[in-house]
Structure 1
Amino acid sequence: MRPLVLRLHFHAGLLIAPFLLVAAASGLLYALSFQAEKVVYRNELEAPVGERVLPLAEQVDAARRAHPDATVTAVWPAPEEGATTRVLMTGPQVEEGTSLAVFVDPYTARVRGALPGYGSSGALPLRTWLGEFHRDLHLGEPGRLYSELAAGWLWVVTLGGLLLWIGRRRTARRAKALLLPEGGPRSRRRTLSWHGSVGLWASAGLLGLSATGLTWSTYAGENIASVRERLGGATPTVSAALGATPAGGDAHEGHGAHHDPAAPAAGGTDVGVDRAVEAARAVGVDGRIAVTLPTDGKGYVVKETDTQFPVHLDQAAVDPATGEVLDTLRFADHPLLAKLTRFGIDAHTGVLFGLANQLALAALALALVLLVLWGYRMWWLRRPGRPVAPGTWRRVPVPLLLPLAAGTALVGWFLPLLGLSLLAFLAVDATRSAVSRRRRRIAGTA
């Protein structure tokens, strides 16, 4: 079994390593971009502390006056003293999938700037560019295949490397040989020691990145979402619909107190964003929040956006005509699988544990870069030899080969790009094995 794992780890690492290297390098830059944004966009993000915070309505009006051709869709009140309020807008000049984030001084209602914003984390141009490069190399949907291939193979090479390293060192008298790299002169042995030790320390994080990264992928992501939905792990949403409650009961029965929504008053009466925020605070939706403005048939939605653990992600919907709470949704009432998915994604994107999360991501990305480079160095020092001859899978006992093949087929179906690339690898390996046997036969008859 070890020769098969060794051959798979060697060739998968050799061929997939370029994708892993790009993903790791771009991920490293992305992890550092959180702190870089605070410096690059300091003028937009910060404001001198004043005597009192103005009503949100005045701040929104200031954004509207600065951008009269755009439409306000949401407001992110200043989360702390010295920070600006973010008014999100859309319009003909705003790129699809992004918002125009207008930064307003909450003490003076002066507009301090406007930048394109992306996603629920409020990524600004620097982080958005790096995030898209990490995800699809700025090639759109075709580019996402690279990241899915990298994430799909990352767990394979990580587990294979663990098995090889632990198996190689199982007879060592001290754990030091397993956990710490060797010293001594530069050699392939020392490079292998660094490759194995660092890989061991980074393995848990790399497996986590692989699992969470696949949730965004094109093909595997669809399968993961389907499984989550079948297991009841879909993320619920607060009901902000105006009018009578649909037949069959509440959309979020058990998520909190509900009121019979009243239809908006004639003339489109609106209590205003400040009243909506007050109503949400009265039911415990407070702290760092985002307010989505009413649209046709829907009321205000006030969401807590504190994704840093322990998270605060409760939501409330408010009737714009009366200021009454239509529905509440507590994060504590989310299905366990939905919570775990949220935690995993937030950890992958560097927001679950704040700066510590971002530093951990940077360390993992740097470790992966080094593992790839060390792997190539070992290959270069070994050349022209090869660790295991082609056709190794033929020597696996049938009682072990059959369940292994069945499990591999199941994984390949669930992770299609991994499955297709593995088939290509097996086809190349079988071809090389056949060519090698033919050459030996010819040499034997010569």
Structure 2
Amino acid sequence: MTSTDVRPPADAERTPPRTSTWSALKPLVLRLHFYAGVLVAPFLLVAAATGLLYAASFQLERIVHAHELTVPAGQQRVPLAQQIAAAQAARPTGTITAVRIPAEADASTRVLMNVPGLPESTQLAVFVDPYTAQVRGTLESYGGSGALPVRAWISQLHRHLHLGEPGRLYSELAASWLWVVALGGLVLWVTRRRSKRRVRALLAPDRSLPASPRRLSWHGSIGLWAVLGLLFLSATGLTWSKYAGENVGDVRVALGWTTPKISAASGDHAAHAGAGGHRHGGTVSADELVRAAAGKGLSGPLEIVWPAKEGAPFVVKEIDKTVPQRLDQVAVDGTSGQVTAELRFADFNLAAKLTQWGIDGHMGLLFGLANQLVLMLLAAGVITLVILGYRMWWKRRPTRGFGRPYARGGWRGVRWAVLAPLALVVAGIGWFLPVMGFSLAAFLVVDVLLGLRARARPPVG
């Protein structure tokens, strides 16, 4: 057998010839998309499945906790102070922190309390019939959204799989890589279809193709339709993450993009009781607080927040997060009943508004049920993309004789004028998104080790 008959191993690294920038970058993008898809896809699959469940949890919460949340609509509501007193009598050891006043005629009033023994970020919610002042039940309420037990459990499942802080790494890993996989797939799909001059095939799968290319057609088309939503979920999800979220917060502070807060200034005569509660407050009743807020144009649903320290005012704020949003706030002196400060959502800077809209959209609140349905479709799309991706890989896995998916060393064909700034950008992203940076470094180490092992194998002759 002559030397020309000896084939190099499939994984042997070869320096590709210099060619156009995209032709040189494409193998690199293909390899990144493939390995990110294979290795990160399990985390994306879990995040999508739990996210789909969370999007449905709002409707599930209404069903499971219907007795506490709803009441028979009556003709006349009793004073709010009487409702608060009933809640306090039901839980005399609780310290009132806030009261949520519904706008719907058949909804209960929610009195929130701090009670010893509850988990972090959790309060006790006492539900009161606004027409009879009868307590309909008590439930734990989690976070600023007031998630009740069923939704809170699903929320924690989506956030950290009930594993605590270590579990948050899974969701941060998924959010960190989701935009990379989505954009990489978009570029590959668009350039592939453009080269074939089949624009229609960008948007719809070609069902006339054989099985293998048909799966790719479905994978690419679904990814194209979902890409904007996936980028949105990735960006907003990172704001909740532990490490990347801290960096995002630092950037917002540095650029002055933080969400404004209402002034805590108040009159000098604030007392320490009243408004139907037993926390630092004033002599005015809760009903007077609502009337003071109404005088400034605020309307239900409302939340009255009890002052956290002596001398501070009550804060009455709108909590309607569906479009058109009503999120104005006023501070009301607890003794005089006068509004001492106002904060209008219309006056928020653009970054603060985008942050609010992004959070509410990610949670399924911004457009109500329509928002939740879109999130369910996106989650189902991710699940489908992952399954199709694994299916394509399994059908063309190396053990079936198809060889390695994408050759190593593709980066060597990229001009240094492109490669150097690209490497700097990747390093910067890895620093800003540390979970992604560490995982990418781990991928590269494993890839190098596999390449060294392949080179050490004797040639097949």
User: What residue is the counterpart of 1:383 in the other structure?
Assistant: 397
- In structure 1, the residue matched to 2:64 is 40
Residue 144 of structure 1 aligns with an amino acid whose one-letter code is: R
Matches within 5 A, 1:69-108: 69-108=93-132
Q: In structure 2, how many angstroms separate the alpha carbons of the residues matched to 1:4 and 1:157? A: 13
Match of 1:406 among 424, 427, 451: 424
The offset of 1:269, in angstroms, is 4.7
Structure 2 letter corresponding to 1:80: E
Which whole-Å deviations, capped at 9, do the CAs of 1:159-181 have from their partners, x for residues lacking one? 00001111110034442211101
**In 2, Cα distance between equivalents of 1:98 and 1:186:** 54
Kindly tell me the number of residue pairs found equivalent between the two proteins.
425
Deviation at 1:266, TM superposition (A): 8.8
382-391 or 137-146: which moved more?
Answer: 382-391
**What is the DSSP-based 3-state SS (H/G/I as helix, E as strand, rest coil) of the residue aligned with 2:334?**
coil
> Is the counterpart of residue 344 in structure 1 residue 358 in structure 2?
yes
Contact 2:101 2:300 in 1 (8 A): no
Between 204-213 and 230-239, report the one with greater CA deviation: 230-239
Per-residue displacement from partner, 1:67-121 (whole Å, max 9, x unpaired)?
1121111100122111110111111143331111111100000111111111222
Once the two structures are superposed, the pairs formed by residues 326-337 of structure 1 within 5 Å of their partners are 326-337=340-351
> Of the two structures, which has the highest relative contact order with CA contacts closer than 8 Å and spacing of 6 or more?
2
* Residue aligned with 2:118, SS: coil
CA distance in structure 2 between the aligned counterparts of 1:231 and 1:403, rounded to whole angstroms: 25
Task: Establish whether residue 426 from structure 1 lines up as the match of residue 444 from structure 2.
Answer: yes
Secondary structure of 1:31's counterpart equals helix
Using the size of structure 2 for normalisation, the TM-score is 0.89
Q: Counterparts of 1:20-419 in structure 2 under 5 Å?
A: 20-184=44-208, 187-242=211-266, 261-264=267-270, 269-295=282-308, 296-384=310-398, 385-419=403-437
Does structure 2 retain, via aligned residues, the 8 Å contact 1:294–1:320? no
Range moving further from structure 2, 344-353 or 426-435: 426-435
C-alpha distance in structure 2 between counterparts of 1:346 and 1:391, whole Å: 44
Q: Secondary structure at the match of 1:393?
A: helix
Q: What is the CA distance between 1:184 and its match in structure 2?
A: 3.7
CA displacement, residues 384-429 of structure 1 (integer Å, 9 cap, x when unaligned): 1332122322332222111110110011111011111111111222
Stretch of structure 1 that moved more, 122-131 or 168-177: 168-177
Aligned-pair identity (%): 57
* Residue-by-residue CA offset, 1:41-76 (whole Å, 9 max, x unaligned): 111111011120111100001111111121111100
Conserved in 2, the CA contact under 8 Å of 1:391 and 1:429? no
Q: Is the 8 A contact 1:240 1:317 kept in 2?
A: yes
- Confirm or deny: 8 A CA contact 1:308 1:353 kept in the other structure: yes
Q: How far apart are the structure 2 equivalents of 1:218 and 1:95?
A: 19
Q: What is the letter of the counterpart of residue 292 of structure 2? A: A
Structure-2 separation of matches of 1:181 and 1:416: 36
- Partner of 1:426: helix, strand, or coil? helix
CA distance in structure 2 between the aligned counterparts of 1:70 and 1:352, rounded to whole angstroms: 32
Comparing 284-293 and 198-207, the one that deviates more: 284-293
Distance in structure 2 (CA, Å) of the matches to 1:172 and 1:42: 55
The residue aligned with 2:15 is: none
Bigger drift between 181-190 and 165-174 goes to: 181-190
Give the match's secondary structure for 2:322.
coil
CA distance in 2 between partners of 1:118 and 1:207 (Å): 27
> CA–CA distance in 2 between the matches of 1:135 and 1:394?
40
Question: How far is 1:433 from its partner?
Answer: 2.3
Question: What TM-score, normalized by structure 1, do the two folds share?
Answer: 0.92
1:290-327 CA deviation, whole Å, 9 max, x = no partner?
10123423121101101111211110011101101111
Q: SS at the partner of 1:115? A: strand
CA contact (8 A) 1:391 1:433 kept: no
Secondary structure of the residue aligned to 2:103 is coil
CA distance in 2, matches of 1:2, 1:294: 58
- Return the alpha-carbon distance in structure 2 between the equivalents of residues 37 and 274 of structure 1: 29
Over 3 Å counting, the alpha-carbon distance change for 1:87 and 1:443 in structure 2 is: same
Alpha-carbon RMSD across the aligned residues, in angstroms, is: 1.6
One-letter code aligned to 1:405:
A
Q: Which residue of 1 aligns with 2:13?
A: none
Could you list the runs of 5+ residues in structure 2 that have no partner in the other structure?
Answer: 1-24, 274-280
- Secondary structure (helix, strand or coil) at the match of 2:144 reads coil
- Worse-matched range after superposition: 344-353 or 171-180: 171-180
Unaligned 5+ runs, structure 1: 243-260
1:25–1:365 Cα contact (<8 Å) kept: yes
Deviation at 1:147, TM superposition (A): 0.5
Look up the match of 1:257.
none
Q: Distance in 1 between matches of 2:157 and 2:210?
A: 35
Secondary structure in 2 aligned to 1:215? helix
Change (3 A) 1:154 1:227: same
Q: Distance in 1 between matches of 2:37 and 2:272?
A: 66
SS of alignment partner, residue 256 of structure 2: coil
How far residue 28 of structure 1 moved from its aligned partner, in angstroms, is 0.3
Partner AA of 1:443 in structure 2: P
